[in-house]
Structure 1
Amino acid sequence: MNLQLIYWGCLIGGVIFTLLIILLGDLLAGIMDGLLEIGFPIFQPITLVGAVTVFGGTGLILDRINSLAGTSVLLGALLAAVLSFVFLYAFYVRPMKSAENSTGFRLADLEGKKGEVTVTIPARGFGEVVILTVGGKTNQIAASMDQTEIPQGTTVVVITVKDHILYVSPHPSLKGD
């Protein structure tokens, strides 16, 4: 069997699979996750496809520019594939997994947080506060815990959350101002 056919097949197959990942990423990711549940986190679609593509490309390049025997070209292509596999995991997959964090939060997580009144909270009614969270600023409906009016611009503390409403009080250091 001609090794050049194998190299071309790996290179073309890798490029096609990469294009499919770009176009149908979420669908293919779900399928590949199920197929690749080997138990080793290093086996990711990007590392496997990258290694196969590098194997094919390196094999073709080494075959053209060197007068090496077929076995030497094959070993060089395998070495390049293994190195690309390791580098892709170490410098792309692992850092991306570490970077995955959610910007979501639960309303209950806001208890004890400071915020600022953006819409005056009447003594018996609702206003709005803005609070800084992990994902940025969030505006939430708020009511006065003490049933006193809290004017716009006042710094408040979330005392409790009930029925998706934040019950707030003016920040203790600002009482009496």
Structure 2
Amino acid sequence: MVTLYWICLITGVLFALVTLLFGELIGHLFGAAFDGAAGAHALPVLQPVSLVGGITAFGACGLLLTRYTVWPAFPVALLSLFGALALSVAFAFLYVRPMQRSENSTGFSIRELTGAVGEITVPIPAAGGCGEIVLKVGAARTNQIAASFDGAPIPEGAKAVVVDVREGVLYVSPLGDEL
């Protein structure tokens, strides 16, 4: 049984080291497999980090209980399993879940701006002219070159919606009765 505990502990430590060194690469390679799984984000206990943490905790608890108690193998294994479950659930709810909620990126693709509503900061003249629009992207704001989709001028301060994106220019239309 001690061999099983050592295998679990060493596997967990190696997984932690590999994740630390190559986590970004592994995330890109296997991210779709975990993101596409039904309910993968609904239960943070089923995240790979929580599962491997539980396996590591099982090995560590088993080794400690075997070394520092005189209990037989079955109660040690049972207590190790309960300890692993408790640590895995605690880790999932105290670390994994908050980290999932805190992920926020300022990176975006200009194609994602289609349908976004913003405010014109530099007036857009009639057909062929360009102005500027400020859009909220996540927690940040971005200024982008804008042109009128309909060819009509759009004044500064008007609310506008991005209708199309072509060659790095956002084609916008005024929102509501802005003209």
What TM-score do you get using the length of structure 2 for normalisation? 0.68
Gaps of 5+ in 1: none
1:61 aligned to 59, 64, 84, which one? 64
- Is the 8 Å Cα contact of residues 158 and 166 (structure 1) preserved in structure 2? no
Pick the structure with greater CA Rg: 1
Opposite residue 113 of structure 2, the aligned amino acid is L
Aligned pairs for 1:16-95 within 5 A: 16-29=14-27, 30-31=29-30, 34=33, 41=40, 42-95=45-98
Paired position in structure 2 for 1:107: 113
1:120-169 CA-partner distances (Å, limit 9, x unpaired): 5444511222222334212222235674484xxx3122155344433355
Q: What TM-score does the superposition give when structure 1 sets the normalisation length?
A: 0.69
Q: Name 2:157's counterpart in structure 1.
A: 155
SS of corresponding position for 1:9: helix
* CA gap 1:149/1:24 in 2 versus in 1, 3 angstroms: closer
Percent sequence identity is 33
**Deviation of 1:17 (Å):** 1.1
Moved more, 135-144 or 53-62: 135-144
The equivalent residue for 1:166 is: 171
Asked if residue 117 in structure 1 is aligned to residue 115 in structure 2, the reply is: no
Aligned length, in residue pairs: 165
TM-aligned CA distance change 1:87 to 1:143, over 3 Å: same
* Cα pair distance change 1:64/1:126, threshold 3 Å: same
SS of 1:155 mapped into structure 2: coil
Structure-2 separation of matches of 1:40 and 1:121: 46
Q: Aligned equivalents of 1:33 and 1:172: distance in 2?
A: 43
Q: Which residue in 2 is equivalent to 1:129?
A: 133
- Kindly indicate whether the alpha-carbon contact (under 8 Å) linking 1:6 and 1:56 is maintained by their aligned counterparts in 2: yes
